[in-house]
């Protein structure tokens, strides 16, 4: 199908798509799959019992990507989808997901995604998910992803979760289980403004010996927005885990950071650090002496911080 300029802009914002990709992809628009293509090594199969798809990467697949963006352009629509990703043994792939909402009306538009990600033995996965909203100030844009991740023996996964702007309310729940020799790294970047609210809850269970888990969160809260970050690391065996939360607070915003470490083995090494503060005055002064105005200097600092 031909996408409108609005739809093209949403796809570019959340999935860096400016044309249909040559590999596997599934594009969902307003509650329906409108474009889908499998590749020789990546099968995309619709579920038969509920809305959603199964993405199955064949063992040994390397250097391929699959794009599965969602866009909403109808005001008042609530979309619920269930996706399962199975990353085959010894494969190495990129998954690009994300959701963009354009709500020009006054009703609430909402997308809820329930995802299961299984990274099989020895596989490597890089997963990128971006959220973005735009449209009328009266129409709320709500996104609620719920993800369960399994990293099997010797597997590796990096998940990058980004909320760039325009989402009024989001609750992100991520639960992960990492087995022997497996590794999981979760990177979050979040910007809220106005009266937006964002809750992120991450729980990583380091189940196997020599497993590792890392959560890195960077956020900026502006105006009267509210953020809450909760991260739990559970070391059940000899393992290494680290949580790091770094936030900039501006205006009348509120930020709450709650890291929790649970060691169920004497060989688990778990650490955390958190920092919340305003932009340092010397940073502004330095940029302004280089010729930037105050607003431009602030924007430069924030863009570098969230990079």
H-assigned helices in the chain:
5-15, 281-289, 294-305
Check: CB of residue 238 under 8 Å from CB of residue 268: yes
Q: What is the pLDDT of residues 153-194, one digit of tens each?
A: 999 999 999 997 899 999 999 999 999 999 999 999 999 999
Asked if the model's pLDDT at residue 70 lies above 80, the reply is yes
Residue with tokens 């992803």: 145
Q: Is the dihedral of CA 304, 230, 221, 136 positive or negative?
A: positive
Check: CB of residue 231 under 8 Å from CB of residue 202: yes
Q: Which residues pair with 143 in a beta bridge?
A: 111, 170
pLDDT score at 72: 97
Q: What is the pLDDT of residues 190-207, one digit of tens each?
A: 999 999 999 999 999 999
Which residue in 116, 40, 67, 57 sits closest to 92, CA to CA? 57
Question: How do the domains of the chain map onto residue ranges?
Answer: 5-281
List the structure tokens of 133. Answer: 């909203």
41/169 Cα distance (integer angstroms): 37
What does the longest C-alpha to C-alpha distance in the chain come to?
61
Phi, psi torsion values for 12, nearest 5 degrees? -70, -35
Q: Give the predicted TM-score (pTM) of the model.
A: 0.93
More confident call, 77 vs 302:
77
Check: CB of residue 39 under 8 Å from CB of residue 48: no
Residues 6+ apart with CB under 8 A from 13: 100, 130, 132, 164
Which residue in 265, 266, 249, 269 sits closest to 257, CA to CA? 249
Percent of the chain with pLDDT over 70: 94
List the structure tokens of 100. Answer: 């963009």
Which residue pairs, CB below 8 angstroms and at least 24 apart, start in 29-35? 29/70, 29/71, 29/72, 29/73, 30/71, 30/72, 30/73, 30/74, 30/77, 30/79, 31/72, 31/77, 31/79, 34/1, 35/1
- Compute how many other C-beta atoms are within 10 angstroms of the C-beta atom of residue 185: 16
Q: What is the pLDDT of residues 252-265, one digit of tens each?
A: 999 999 999 999 99
Q: Average pLDDT for residues 21-27, to the nearest whole number?
A: 95
């Amino acid at each position: 199908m031909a996408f409108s300029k609005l739809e093209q802009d949403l796809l570019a914002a959340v999935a860096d798509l400016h044309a249909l990709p040559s590999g596997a992809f599934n594009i969902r628009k307003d509650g329906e799959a409108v474009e889908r293509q499998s590749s020789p090594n990546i099968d995309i199969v619709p579920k038969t019992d509920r809305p959603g798809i199964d993405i199955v990467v064949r063992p040994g697949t390397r250097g391929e990507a699959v794009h599965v963006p969602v866009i909403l352009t109808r005001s008042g629509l609530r979309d619920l989808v269930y996706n399962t990703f199975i990353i085959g043994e010894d494969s190495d792939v990129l998954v690009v997901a994300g959701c963009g909402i354009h709500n020009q009306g006054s009703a609430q538009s909402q997308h809820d995604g329930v995802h299961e990600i299984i990274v099989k033995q020895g596989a490597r996965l890089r997963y990128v998910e971006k959220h973005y909203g735009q449209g009328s100030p009266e129409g709320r844009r709500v996104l609620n992803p719920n993800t369960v991740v399994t990293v099997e023996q010797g597997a590796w996964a990096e998940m990058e979760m980004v909320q760039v702007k325009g989402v009024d309310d989001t609750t992100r729940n991520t639960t992960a289980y990492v087995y022997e020799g497996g590794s999981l790294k979760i990177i979050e970047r979040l910007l809220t403004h106005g009266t937006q609210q964002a809750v992120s809850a991450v729980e990583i269970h380091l189940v196997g010996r020599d497993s590792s888990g890392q959560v890195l969160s960077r956020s900026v809260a502006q105006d009267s927005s509210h953020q809450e970050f909760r991260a739990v690391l559970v070391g059940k065996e000899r393992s290494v885990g680290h949580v790091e939360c770094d936030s900039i607070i501006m205006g009348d915003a509120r930020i709450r950071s709650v890291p929790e470490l649970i060691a169920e083995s004497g060989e688990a090494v778990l650490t955390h650090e958190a920092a919340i503060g305003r932009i340092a005055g010397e940073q502004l002064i330095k940029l302004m002496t280089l010729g930037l105005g105050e607003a431009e200097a602030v924007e430069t600092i924030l863009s570098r911080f969230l990079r």
